[in-house]
Structure 1
């Protein structure tokens, strides 16, 4: 079966036929594609640009399909369908690298994985439903219109993401400057030594050096600070204070609980230590080569701390430290949650394969299409029930949510999946990968940038793998190129991840992740505008500007 027929039920941006537009405008008639070896200059250039794209995409947790497909079309000479398939295989390799890089990392402030598995279980099912509807809208709306609308959407997302990056950068700078000003205002004792009860950044730096942090705070006479000189978990507080005034506040409108900022928790603990001269540091654990704060505001507000920094019991009441600190240790890869995700995507793959063996428009076809609906709705309901129960337990225990945590209230467990379904609709309508929509969406939900990148990259491994299975099942992909593209994705994504992680540690700024997302979206936006121009010109020449298609075509 030719690959074209196998992709009729799959929504992709490149159904707008960039390659066909280009060939019609240039008069170029392609020959059947050559084998991989011997490599030509076009192969070296194409894979060179692909490697650079993957290098940039790795840090932001965005797959990179918006760049890879045009590269494979214009530089390697593949037709649209083969380019989309090879792009998916490349992204699978990159997603595996991202997963291997992130799966062993822990959250910077809580005893749980960096990958937010609960967020994945909330976002993926409804995203699939939205993408299903968006895919059929994609087939009905003219190709040039979807491309133009996508260009406008990418412009808005890129602007929003860039503003958030600069806002987070300024917040990190302000936090670092405040730390320096606090140090400069510390009183000196008669012997010229600083009061150990003050918030000594030298002691903090010593703790960070023991954790592999090599950049101490430097307060200069001019009051200016050196970039990247503040400890990672004090100066880089993620999105705290950098929230979007419109969207993010509306996300949290249903919360009736006061949210404690990361900085506030650290300051509360340090203020309690002013009464002791033998304890100059909050209780810090090292985890994932980052400083992990494990504290509660309960002990700080009671004004009672043990010598080791742990909160004492109040009025003889039993301690709630085990309830308030981490609320249960979460393994790196929760088997049940992973099993649910694998089961769901196996059902998606089975549905996609089944559609190709039934005639479009028949009752058997629609039965196969909607067979996935009970699975997705059932998973969504079970996940919501679990999250609401966890929320009620935390409320009963007096848990206080911190910046960067998603508060799964009964309202939010309905609103967030609905928002994700709209994101899926956008992804299906415009044929873009989920990462380019979900990454910015998670940032708007208040998720820390590195958590959003790791979680988005993990979701991509499921979506790209399911699409690749469909493509490979029909045997129309050149396997020599498929193996090479997979290895390119695997190799350069892990290099890009390591480089972004090193840069984030060197600068002590999480905003680096946001800028990596924004850079990739800028590149994608330029390519999409180019495609939009070609699509409009081609449709105008063929008098197809007002042509609406059907689902079965």
Structure 2
């Protein structure tokens, strides 16, 4: 209950703060731009006072003001639930947020898209810092796989750009049908993956020894380092000393449980121990053990790859510069480049060598690491993705196709990349953390473009971004607790399946309504002209 009250206070504080600032920026006799206030009932009959802003394209945007009413309360509830599920699964959740802003709050399609990206960015920032210093479940490396991010993201962004061009050409009814079918299939595949993983985890748990047994304590109580010390202590001992070694390990486990987090002093018997009539040990030995604290184990700053993060930042800035100069259907160019002009196509084509160059640099480094590992006889871990010559070509091509599909159907790449990473064999925890980082990469890129062009309702974006950040933390914490308590990482896969299924239902219903409306009104439903 205390946590719930804290969360409620944070939400109310964010909402009231953004409401007050929004009201100060948009007084009743005009706005910050000096434009007269629009009729309160002119924005789709919402009854909330809208505010006006002129972006650098010369168009006047009419946005509903952030106010304490039933619609914003309902939208906050949807944001909390959707944000928790989406961030726990490592996806954006735009399939839920765009219809929420468009239909529930009355924003136009472009503004709804920008607000959705702001929400996704807020949740992705929370996910990034939450996962930043967490360790891989089975290996001594970060939970986020930065190598796969750097390998896939340039090709994914390139594919999204090509898909957006196709999105302009294809009629909306084809896009809605394809999107609904794709999300339904992805939901089915993800659910099947979750069920199979659940069964495998259940079978493994049933085959494991009881928690209180000696073998269980031997297998799970000590770290690899502690086991190595024990092995070194008894390496020169007679074969009969194996029994003593097992007893010592059980004693260590019991002492660790009693002593807690700090130093533990372990003592062996001082008197000789006989086994089969022979003395096993005469001299007493005493060794001090230091158990790694939970805080250090959970938040290890050595797991932060500063060089990888710097590389990600450079790639992000490179694509941001090209995107801002080029513009697009929803984000005009800052230098006045119009669609279908020679400069537009030149800047669009510039993304191809940029993506190839970034991908080639990462692939070269990963290929060298792969060759070194093979030369040293270092086999890949069963839960680790291989980066051989074949994979270094296949993975970016998969990301390129996924980006084209995402851009064509108007969704983020997370809903496609997440299930694909699971199919490639990545662990659910790593998939969610890596997918969330890739979502942060792409969504922050979009938000930066919208913000530079003044195409985003600032205070509404701040409020709902904060809501999604908070809900993301709640979702991550709850799912991590459940996974730790149950030992079933398949719960993360089910979260991904649920958010994809919800998006399929929402888009299918709303898209079906729009298709029916276009058909009744005789709207043109053929291919559109690109220029």
What's the TM-score, normalizing by structure 1?
A: 0.69
Q: Render the CA deviation track for 1:142-181: whole Å, top value 9, x for unaligned.
A: 111011100000011000000010100000011111124x
Structure 1 residues without counterparts, runs of 5 or longer: 1-26, 185-192, 212-271, 287-328
Q: For 1:97-496, list aligned pairs within 5 A.
A: 97-180=126-209, 200-204=215-219, 206-207=221-222, 277-279=244-246, 331-355=302-326, 356=333, 357-496=336-475
- Distance (Å, rounded) in 2 between the aligned partners of 1:81 and 1:273: 76
- Distance (Å, rounded) in 2 between the aligned partners of 1:30 and 1:474: 26
Query: 2:133–2:303: 8 Å Cα contact kept in structure 1?
Result: yes
Which of the residues 484, 498, 505 maps onto 1:519? 498
Structure 2 residue matching 1:411: 3-state secondary structure:
helix
Instruction: Kindly state the Cα deviation for residue 404 of structure 1 after the two structures are TM-superposed.
Output: 1.4
Query: 1:64–1:520: 8 Å Cα contact kept in structure 2?
Result: yes
Distance 1:551 1:276, change over 3 A: farther
Q: Indicate the larger mover: 89-98 or 336-345.
A: 336-345
Provide the residue aligned with 1:232 in structure 2. none
Q: Which has the higher helix share?
A: 2
- Distance (Å, rounded) in 1 between the aligned partners of 2:241 and 2:358: 50
Distance 1:274 1:78, change over 3 A: farther
- Distance (Å, rounded) in 2 between the aligned partners of 1:67 and 1:173: 32
- Distance (Å, rounded) in 2 between the aligned partners of 1:179 and 1:87: 45
Q: Quick check: 1:44 aligned with 2:92? A: no
Structure 2 residue matching 1:112: 3-state secondary structure:
coil
- Distance (Å, rounded) in 1 between the aligned partners of 2:348 and 2:507: 30
- Distance (Å, rounded) in 2 between the aligned partners of 1:70 and 1:398: 53
Q: Render the CA deviation track for 1:498-544: whole Å, top value 9, x for unaligned.
A: 11111111111110110111111111111011122123213322444
- Distance (Å, rounded) in 1 between the aligned partners of 2:470 and 2:178: 34
- Distance (Å, rounded) in 1 between the aligned partners of 2:156 and 2:467: 28
- Distance (Å, rounded) in 1 between the aligned partners of 2:95 and 2:483: 25
- Distance (Å, rounded) in 1 between the aligned partners of 2:243 and 2:399: 49
- Distance (Å, rounded) in 2 between the aligned partners of 1:352 and 1:534: 33
Distance 1:550 1:332, change over 3 A: farther
Query: 1:344–1:375: 8 Å Cα contact kept in structure 2?
Result: no
- Distance (Å, rounded) in 1 between the aligned partners of 2:364 and 2:221: 44
Query: 1:33–1:78: 8 Å Cα contact kept in structure 2?
Result: no
- Distance (Å, rounded) in 2 between the aligned partners of 1:159 and 1:416: 23
Query: 2:190–2:419: 8 Å Cα contact kept in structure 1?
Result: yes
- Distance (Å, rounded) in 1 between the aligned partners of 2:445 and 2:88: 23
Distance 1:509 1:361, change over 3 A: same
Structure 2 residue matching 1:547: 3-state secondary structure:
coil
Q: Quick check: 1:59 aligned with 2:76? A: no
Instruction: Kindly state the Cα deviation for residue 29 of structure 1 after the two structures are TM-superposed.
Output: 6.3
Distance 1:273 1:397, change over 3 A: farther
Q: What RMSD over aligned residues (CA atoms) do the two structures have, in Å?
A: 2.9
Query: 2:114–2:455: 8 Å Cα contact kept in structure 1?
Result: no
Distance 1:92 1:536, change over 3 A: same
Q: Render the CA deviation track for 1:278-336: whole Å, top value 9, x for unaligned.
A: 0476999x9xxxxxxxxxxxxxxxxxxxxxxxxxxxxxxxxxxxxxxxxxx99533233
Q: Indicate the larger mover: 349-358 or 147-156.
A: 349-358
Instruction: Kindly state the Cα deviation for residue 383 of structure 1 after the two structures are TM-superposed.
Output: 1.1
Query: 1:142–1:547: 8 Å Cα contact kept in structure 2?
Result: yes
- Distance (Å, rounded) in 2 between the aligned partners of 1:172 and 1:462: 32
Q: Render the CA deviation track for 1:440-465: whole Å, top value 9, x for unaligned.
A: 01001100000000000011111111
Distance 1:137 1:37, change over 3 A: closer
Structure 1 residue matching 2:50: 3-state secondary structure:
coil
